[in-house]
Amino acid sequence: MSELWDTIKLLSDSTRARILIILNDEELSVAELQDVMDMGQSRISSHLSLLRQGDLVVDRKEGKKTFYAINLNCDPSKQKLIDSVLSVLKTDTGVLEDQQNLKRVLNKRKQAAEEYFNSVAGRLGKNYCPGRSWEAIGHFLLYLTPKLKIADLGAGEGLISQLLARGAEKVYCIDNAPKMIEFGESLSKKNGLTNLEYQLGDIENVPLKNKSVDIALLSQALHHANHPAKAVEEAYRILEDGGRIIIIDLLEHDFEKARELYADVWLGFSQNKLYQLLKDAGFKQIEVNTVSKETEEPYFQTILASAVKG
């Protein structure tokens, strides 16, 4: 009972309650919470510390940044209490304003990535890009067989798809940067590839039907997703039973400048993390391996994952 009283005390503060409502919708950094709540860093950090001590929020370190989310593993009685309080407060004027600010902050995240990829459309394959090596692509192509329906998710200009389309039945290039789509379509037309289709869309909400492809590719795209688990789940949804997902991405690293230089949201993934994402989505026959290591700083390593829809 004392633990519930402690939870009530934590929820009795309006700032902490607002933080919980915001984090109930999205995992955020302290800086992003500042932007949403228009509040100082020290004040927010102080409240987050109390909420963490009370097991109401959890934190995750990504490079130098720390992200916070509501704790979804509370005991049932505590969770029921939290849900009741937050439900009542959701119509509060200040809370409604927070929700509008949250949409703005999340849109800012998305726009930062879109601006980067729009700015390099037509040049992406010519400039340096972490983890993009012919060695990794060679491993990638070993998994493929001809006359398949393939979805290249987060395709960019679709350079890999341009190669695959020569033997595949159909290739869908999905990307959320209009300039990338525009350039890719032009290149496809130039090369006479009639079975290559570009579609504007998000890898977390793929504009393809359930069970519509045989192969789902995520080549250096997953670390740009706000919610990698959703992207993997979408790949599972669009795959035929027995279809295969293939992922090329960066091994977990601490090169913080990648966020600014390449619009990276995640600093790569450990092999265990990628394995768990695939397992949680329902995939079977999962394989995850490191396939290349760059020889110059920051020594990015590339991992290749493959799994089958069960």
| pLDDT computed for residue 208 by the predictor | 98
Residue type, 114: E
| pLDDT computed for residue 164 by the predictor | 86
Q: Which helix (H) or strand (E) holds 243?
A: strand 239-250
What is the distance, to the nearest Å, from the Cα of residue 2 to the centroid of all Cα atoms in its chain?
A: 39
* Across 24-38, average pLDDT: 92
Q: Is the pLDDT of residue 244 over 90?
A: yes
* Alpha carbon separation from 307 to 225, 242, 244 (Å, rounded): 19, 9, 6
Report H helices in 41-133. 41-53, 76-89, 93-119
Residue 255 backbone phi and psi in degrees, to 5: -80, 90
Average pLDDT for the chain: 90
Q: Is 228 exposed, middle or buried (0-12, 13-18, 19+ CB in 10 A)?
A: buried
Question: What domains are defined for the chain?
Answer: 2-109 (1.10.10.10), 134-309 (3.40.50.150)
Q: By percentage, how much of the chain surpasses pLDDT 70?
A: 95
* Across 179-186, average pLDDT: 92
Instruction: Find residue 29's DSSP bridge partners.
Output: 67
pLDDT tens for 154-163 read: 998 888 888 8
pLDDT band at 135 (very low <50, low <70, confident <90, very high): low
Question: Looking at the chain, how many residues does it have?
Answer: 310
pLDDT band at 22 (very low <50, low <70, confident <90, very high): very high
pLDDT band at 102 (very low <50, low <70, confident <90, very high): very high
Report H helices in the chain. 2-11, 14-25, 30-37, 41-53, 76-89, 93-119, 134-142, 159-164, 178-190, 228-238, 258-262, 271-281
Q: Is the pLDDT of residue 124 over 80?
A: no
Q: Is the pLDDT of residue 308 over 90?
A: yes
CA angle 205, 64, 292 (to 5 degrees): 65
| pLDDT computed for residue 233 by the predictor | 98
- Sequence-distant (≥ 6) Cβ neighbours of residue 246 within 8 angstroms: 140, 143, 144, 215, 216, 217, 218, 304, 305, 306
Cis peptide before 298 (omega within 30 of 0): yes
| pLDDT computed for residue 145 by the predictor | 61
Distance CA 53, CA 255 (A): 30
Whole-structure pTM value:
0.72
Distance CA 213, CA 35 (A): 41
Q: Is the pLDDT of residue 11 over 80?
A: yes
pLDDT tens for 35-84 read: 999 999 999 999 999 999 999 999 999 888 899 999 988 888 888 888 88
| pLDDT computed for residue 112 by the predictor | 81
Q: Is the pLDDT of residue 127 over 70?
A: no
Instruction: Find residue 171's DSSP bridge partners.
Output: 150, 196
* Across 3-11, average pLDDT: 87
Q: By percentage, how much of the chain surpasses pLDDT 90?
A: 65
Distance CA 176, CA 228 (A): 15
pLDDT band at 134 (very low <50, low <70, confident <90, very high): low
| pLDDT computed for residue 165 by the predictor | 86
| pLDDT computed for residue 29 by the predictor | 93
Q: Is the dihedral of CA 96, 101, 105, 111 positive or negative?
A: positive
* Alpha carbon separation from 183 to 122, 128, 158, 203, 206 (Å, rounded): 6, 19, 9, 19, 20
Q: Which helix (H) or strand (E) holds 240?
A: strand 239-250
